[in-house]
Amino acid sequence: MSKVKIKLFANLREIVGVKEEFVEAQSVGEALEKLVEKHSALKDKIFPQGELNKSLNIMLNGKNTDLNTEVREGDEIAIFPPVAGG
């Protein structure tokens, strides 16, 4: 089990009220599940109907990732809606 940081952005951040959370997990998927356990208001956004919301982007240490990827102590996960810069 590793302690990882999950950074939240845009509407996800607003729903939870914090910019980041810390969870213990072995994989990206597990980390997100723990996040949703801590903040149930995120459940519908991240796992609507039990499946990962495909429109969300998930990054691990700044690179796109998937739920199965293992995490290590100190890793940084970011979860956010489609980007909208410019």
Partner 1 sequence: MKVITVAGYKNSGKTSLIEELVPKLKKIGRVGTVKHIHHEDSGDTARHMKAGADVVIGLGDEMRVMLKSSELREALDILADLGMDFAILEGFKSSDLPKVLLGDADAKEVVAKNLTADEIIKRLDEFPEWETVKSMIRKVKSSPKIGEVGAIGCFIGIVREEGGTVKEMEIEKYDKVAERIMREIEEEVKKEFGVIEVLMHHNSGRLVGGDDIVYIVVASSHRKEMFPALQSAVEKMKERVPIWKKEIRVDGERWV
Out of 1, 11, 26, 66, the residue judged to bind partner 1 by CB under 8 A? 11
| Cβ closest to partner 1, residue 1 vs residue 18 | 18
Count of CA atoms in the C-beta half-sphere (13 A) of 66: 1
Q: Which stretch binds partner 1 (CB under 8 A): 5-13, 27-35, 44-52, 67-75?
A: 5-13
Spatial contact of 76 and 5, defined as CB atoms under 8 Å apart: yes
Binding residues with partner 1: total (CB under 8 A): 15
Q: Does 5 bind partner 1 (CB under 8 A)?
A: no
